[in-house]
């Protein structure tokens, strides 16, 4: 059959990967999967060294996170995806840094702030503040069947009244539990907290780079190169491929939820979580239906559990010069970090 039409793929900028899509000509999309895996492993090891509690290297970590963000940008990931990840990951990292500071009272390097928050004993009793808080919370729930604003109102009232009148309390018993907690913000633990948060961020970004730039074919190719049985490779790649389909389903289901007015009212955290939970029904139904039909489809093509190693067809990708350069750079990083104990922060005389 004659084919004169112009291919829509001409000028096509993106190709779908396991997660979202990747720019066809992006440098990372052209790297071998094993190179990317090696880079993840090597840079993660370097990061682990940089976030070492005894000798943290915040400058090195910042450089690495910039490098991983650049890698993610080079993937050609769609801007909204990039922004969404930044939006989700940075609050999580901030939370992680705060938790580190709260639970690691390390006074080295000079204490900037010290707040005792727990004496190591639990008081069982009642106080004016607690009473007010509970009264507002329960009252609000009874009247409005809602918790969030009850919590906010209860805390606000308790803080206001107790700051004016004090907080008289009646203690029935005192039980030792855990150990005393004091939040100590020192130069040292602040540095470690920030370094760790950024370091883990870097690890997340560089791992995302792998799933965002890898396609099922490359994955099967690399599994065949390392002699993993085809049946295993096929099922793993099909499972990863279904991530992409589940994302598409999620998008449509979320839109259907919006069409049903899910965003019409301001909702508290619990209601937002409940809305997310509602999505499980259509998502599960569509995943089940899809998996059953994919099962039939692969049987029709002649796939069985006893399938012999099929012909290799544009799956196995050769290593290129770019792979060699990336592996070389990663090895240099490893040597500098573990062989020469490179610590950029100290080298620059900042800490």
Partner 1 sequence: MAAMVEIEDLHWRYPTFDEAEEHPWTLKGINLRVEKGEFFGITGPSGAGKTTLCKAIMGIIPHGLKIPFGLYNHHFRGRVVVDGELVSAVDPEGNVVDGEARGRLFGRGIMSPKVGMVLQDPETQFVKMSLLHEVAFGLQLLRLPREEIEVRVRQALEMVGLGYLADDAEYIHPNDLSGGQKQRVAIASLLAMRPELLILDEPTSDLDPLGKREVIETVRMLHDEYQMTVIIVEHDPEILRRFCDRIALIEDGQVQCVDEATSFFRHMDRLERGGICRFEVSEIAYRTGIYHHGAIPITIEECLTCFPKGLDASLQPEDPRPQGEVLLEVKDLTYTYEDGTQALRGVNFQLHRGEVLALLGTNGSGKTTVAKILNGIYRPTSGTVTILGQDITRRSVRRELPRHVGYVFQNPDHQIFTRRVRDEIAYGLKNLGLSEEEIAERTVQALEAVNLTDKADEDPLFLGKGQRQRVAVASILAMRPEILIVDEPTTGQDYRMVSGIMELLENLHSQGNTVLIITHDMTLVANYCERVVVLLNGQDVFTGTPRELFGNPENLERTQLCAPQAISLSVAMRQLKEDFPLLLNKAEWIRALQTQRWV
Quick one: which of 4, 28, 1, 7 has its CA closest to 215? 28
Q: Which is nearer to partner 1, 178 or 313 (CB)?
A: 313
Q: Which is nearer to partner 1, 127 or 242 (CB)?
A: 242
The b-or-e profile of 288-309 (16+ CB within 10 A means b, else e) is eeeeeeeeeeeeeeeeeeeeee
Q: Which is nearer to partner 1, 102 or 217 (CB)?
A: 217
CB of 343 to partner 1, least distance (A): 41
Q: Which is nearer to partner 1, 115 or 276 (CB)?
A: 276
Q: Which residue has the tokens 């389903």?
A: 249
CB of 70 to partner 1, least distance (A): 21
Residue 174 bridge partners (DSSP): 123
Q: Which is nearer to partner 1, 155 or 217 (CB)?
A: 217
Q: Which residue has the tokens 């993937």?
A: 75
Q: Which DSSP symbol is given to 30? A: G
Question: Please, which residues have CB within 8 angstroms of residue 65's CB and are 6 or more apart in sequence?
Answer: 198, 199, 201, 202, 205
The DSSP H or E segment spanning 184 is: strand 181-186
Give yes or no for a contact between 69 and 83, defined as CB atoms under 8 angstroms apart: no
Q: Which is nearer to partner 1, 38 or 85 (CB)?
A: 85
Q: Which is nearer to partner 1, 84 or 182 (CB)?
A: 84
Exposure of 4 in the CB half-sphere (CA atoms within 13 A): 1
Burial class (CB in 10 A: 0-12, 13-18, 19+), 254: middle
Quick one: which of 343, 327, 339 has its CA closest to 42? 327
CB of 126 to partner 1, least distance (A): 35
Residue 123 bridge partners (DSSP): 174
């Amino acid at each position: 059959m004659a084919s004169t039409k112009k291919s829509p793929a001409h000028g096509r900028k993106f190709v779908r990967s396991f997660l979202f899509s990747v720019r066809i000509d992006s440098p990372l999309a052209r790297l071998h999967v094993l190179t990317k895996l090696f880079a993840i492993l090597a840079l993660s090891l370097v990061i682990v060294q940089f976030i070492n509690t005894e000798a943290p290297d915040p400058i090195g970590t910042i450089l690495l996170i910039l490098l991983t963000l650049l890698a993610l940008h080079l993937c050609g990931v769609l801007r909204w995806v990039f922004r969404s990840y930044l939006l989700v990951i940075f609050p999580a990292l901030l939370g992680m840094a705060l938790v580190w500071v709260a639970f690691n009272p390390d006074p080295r390097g000079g204490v900037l702030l010290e707040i005792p928050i727990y004496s190591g004993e639990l008081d069982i009793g009642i106080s004016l503040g607690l009473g007010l808080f509970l009264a507002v919370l329960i009252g609000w729930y009874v009247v409005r069947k809602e918790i969030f604003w009850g919590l906010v109102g209860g805390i606000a009232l308790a803080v206001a009244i107790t700051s004016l009148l004090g907080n008289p309390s009646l203690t029935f018993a005192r039980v030792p539990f855990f150990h005393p907690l004091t939040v100590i913000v020192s130069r040292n633990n602040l540095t470690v907290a920030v370094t760790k948060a950024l370091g883990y961020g870097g690890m997340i970004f560089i791992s995302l780079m792998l799933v965002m730039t890898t396609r099922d074919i490359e994955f099967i190719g690399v599994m065949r190169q390392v002699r993993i049985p085809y049946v295993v490779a096929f099922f793993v790649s099909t499972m990863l491929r279904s991530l992409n389909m589940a994302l598409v389903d999620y998008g449509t289901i979320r839109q259907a939820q919006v069409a049903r007015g899910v965003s019409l009212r301001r909702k508290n955290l619990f209601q937002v979580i409940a809305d997310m939970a509602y999505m499980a029904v259509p998502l599960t139904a569509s995943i089940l239906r899809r998996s059953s039909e994919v099962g039939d489809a692969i049987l029709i093509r002649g796939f069985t559990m006893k399938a012999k190693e099929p012909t290799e067809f544009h799956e196995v990708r050769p290593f290129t010069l770019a792979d060699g350069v990336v592996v070389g750079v990663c090895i240099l990083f490893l040597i500098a970090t573990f062989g020469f104990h490179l610590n950029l922060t100290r080298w620059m005389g900042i800490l």
